[in-house]
């Protein structure tokens, strides 16, 4: 599957994957923090116990490894052989009662316990470098576990997300195929109905029955436009158009000429600029014709009598820019994105600023690698700008007659 649905499903899959990875990362981090706190508390408890034991045994000359013992009495000091030069800690010796403190001497961390026993002051110091090294090894182990858990969570998340969204992707693909098949099957009988209604309306002539037949012709034409929109929408695949060189200026000129009768009937001035110079893009002519037609229909339908619709076609670097601007009813700037959603209805106007029209415009433009933007204000008109990549300089569009025959050939 590709297209907008595929992009949505892909985002959903990545969101599920990242959520799982974040959850696993948080769990590992919490477990690591608890392990670190437990280890630190255990090391501190073991160190204090060892120091209490050393002082209770008064083992100045026979202190255990990494522990140094000092006994200060009558101005003399007994010490464990080879004790560091910075020990004992004089400030703790002068402090009353029992003192247990962390000290860093010459870059080495010590836990020092000092007790007063009558005229004798005993002090024991434990070198904590080995405990700190153990904590550093724990840091590395936790870091490796965090990275390994994150990678495992990403792989697992991708597999689970793919399995979770696979039924949804299949359902969406079936829905798209159904829309395409149903639209294709409906188009032929609807065309026959439209033609027969036209023939009956011509034979009947003016009158009540003729007016009703005219309404049927109009309704079947609109129904046919919806069917064409559905069929084209079902076939669209963003950035996957295998088109040919198309002169967008020719399309604009022909559609402006076709809409000029309607515009005059509604007392709307229709201006066009830049359509006299070929503006060639790579794409599907029929799809691009729907884009221009939908924008013109939208602009004319939302412009009151006496208003103006301007169509400007220009080249901006490597892109062809088409702007359709009207001075009609406009829209709220907050709705600039919403109006491109399917079946969004405009507040007022006689055009089709609802349904599939503008949604299909965006799908067609994006399928050609372009962008479409809308801007407007209530009562101050609206402007739609389409930007499409220009074709290579040596690209030549097909003759108009041949292209029209190819574009209007029935789908098989």
How high is the pLDDT of residue 99?
92
Per-residue pLDDT of the chain (412 residues; tens, 9 = 90+): 555 566 777 777 788 888 888 888 888 889 888 988 998 899 899 899 989 988 888 778 888 888 989 999 887 888 888 888 889 998 898 888 899 999 999 889 999 999 998 889 998 999 998 888 888 888 888 888 888 888 888 888 888 877 877 777 777 677 667 666 666 667 777 778 878 888 887 888 777 777 787 778 777 776 776 666 666 655 555 444 455 788 999 999 988 988 888 888 889 999 999 888 888 898 878 788 888 988 998 888 888 999 999 999 998 888 999 999 998 888 888 888 888 876 555 544 444 444 457 877 888 888 888 899 998 888 888 999 999 998 877 666 665 444 444 343 333 2
Phi/psi class of residue 381: alpha, beta or left (left: φ > 0; alpha: ψ in -120 to 50)? left
**Whose CA is closest to 299, among 344, 262, 249, 247?**
262
- Give me the domains of the chain, ranges plus CATH numbers: 4-133 (no CATH), 242-408 (3.30.565.10)
Q: Is the dihedral of CA 12, 14, 15, 20 positive or negative?
A: positive
How high is the pLDDT of residue 235?
57
The separation between the first and the last C-alpha atoms of the chain, rounded to the nearest angstrom, is: 21
For the stretch 365-370, contacts whose Cβ atoms lie closer than 8 Å and that sit 24 or more positions apart, written own/partner, are 365/291, 366/238, 366/239, 367/236, 367/237, 367/238, 367/239, 367/240, 367/241, 367/287, 368/241, 368/243, 368/281, 368/282, 368/283, 368/284, 368/287, 368/288, 369/239, 369/241, 370/319
4-43 pLDDT, tens digit per residue, is: 566 777 777 788 888 888 888 888 889 888 988 998 899 8
How high is the pLDDT of residue 334?
83
123-148 pLDDT, tens digit per residue, is: 899 999 888 888 888 888 888 888 88
pTM for the full model?
0.48
Tell me the backbone φ, ψ of residue 396, rounded to 5 degrees: -120, 125
Pairing of strands 382-389, 319-326: antiparallel
How high is the pLDDT of residue 408?
38
**Whose CA is closest to 194, among 240, 226, 148, 170?**
226
What is the SS3 assignment for the chain?
CCCHHHHHHHHHHHHHHHHHHHHHHHHHHHHHHHHHHHHHHHHHHHHHHHHHHHHHHCCCCCCCCCEEEEEEECCEEEECCCCCCCCCCHHHHHCCCCEEEEEEECCEEEEEEEEEECCEEEEEEEECHHHHHHHHHHHHHHHHHHHHHHHHHHHHHHHHHHHHHHHHHHHHHHHHHHHHHHHHHHHHHHHHHHHHHHHHHHHHCCCHHHHHHHHHHHHHHHHHHHHHHHHHHHHCCCCCCCCEEEEHHHHHHHHHHHHHHHHHHCCCEEEEECCCCCCEEEECHHHHHHHHHHHHHHHHHCCCCCCEEEEEEEEECCEEEEEEEECCCCCCHHHCCHHHCCCCCCCCCCCCCCCCHHHHHHHHHHHCCCEEEEEECCCCCEEEEEEEEECCCCCCCCCHHHHHHHHHCCCC
Question: Would you say 88 and 103 are in contact if contact means Cβ atoms under 8 Å apart?
Answer: no
The CA distance from 16 to 1, in Å, is: 19
The CA distance from 33 to 29, in Å, is: 6
How high is the pLDDT of residue 343?
57
Burial annotation 240-275 (CB, 10 A radius, 16+ → b, else e): ebeebbbbbbbbbbbbbeebeeebeebebebebebb
């Amino acid at each position: 599957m590709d297209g907008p649905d595929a992009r949505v499903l892909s985002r959903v899959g990545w969101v599920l994957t990242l959520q799982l990875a974040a959850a696993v990362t948080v769990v590992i981090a919490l477990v690591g923090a608890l392990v670190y706190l437990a280890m630190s508390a255990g090391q501190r408890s073991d160190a204090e116990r060892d120091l209490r034991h050393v002082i209770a045994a008064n083992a100045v000359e026979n202190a255990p490894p990494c522990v140094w013992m000092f006994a200060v009495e009558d101005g003399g000091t007994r010490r464990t052989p080879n004790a560091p030069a910075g020990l004992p800690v004089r400030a703790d010796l002068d402090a009353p009662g029992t003192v247990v403190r962390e000290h860093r001497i010459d870059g080495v961390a010590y836990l020092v316990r000092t007790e007063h026993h009558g005229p004798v002051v005993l002090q024991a110091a434990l070198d904590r470098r080995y405990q700190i090294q153990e904590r550093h090894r724990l840091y590395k182990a936790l870091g490796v576990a965090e990275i390994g858990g994150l990678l495992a969570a990403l792989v697992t998340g991708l597999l689970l997300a793919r399995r979770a969204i696979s039924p949804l992707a299949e359902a969406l693909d079936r829905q798209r195929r159904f829309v395409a098949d149903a639209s294709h099957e409906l188009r032929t009988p609807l065309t026959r109905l439209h033609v027969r209604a036209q023939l009956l309306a011509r034979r009947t002539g003016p009158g009540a029955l003729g007016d009703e037949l005219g309404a049927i012709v109009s309704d079947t034409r609109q129904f046919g436009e919806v069917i064409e929109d559905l069929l084209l929408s079902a076939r669209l695949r963003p950035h996957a158009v295998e088109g040919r060189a198309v002169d967008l200026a020719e399309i604009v000129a022909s559609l402006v000429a076709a809409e000029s009768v309607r515009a005059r009937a509604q007392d709307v001035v229709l201006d066009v600029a830049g359509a006299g110079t070929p503006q060639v893009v790579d794409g599907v002519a029929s799809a691009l014709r729907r884009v221009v037609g939908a924008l013109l229909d939208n602009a004319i339908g939302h412009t009151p009598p006496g208003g103006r619709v301007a169509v400007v076609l220009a080249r901006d670097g490597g892109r062809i820019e088409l702007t359709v601007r009207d001075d009609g009813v406009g829209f709220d700037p907050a709705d600039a994105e919403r109006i491109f959603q399917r079946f969004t209805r405009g507040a007022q106007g006689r055009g089709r600023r609802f349904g599939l029209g503008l949604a299909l415009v965006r799908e067609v433009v994006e399928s050609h690698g372009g962008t479409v933007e809308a801007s407007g204000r209530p009562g101050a008109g609206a402007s739609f700008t389409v930007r499409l990549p220009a074709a290579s300089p040596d690209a030549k569009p097909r003759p108009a007659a041949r292209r029209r025959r190819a574009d209007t050939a029935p789908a098989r």
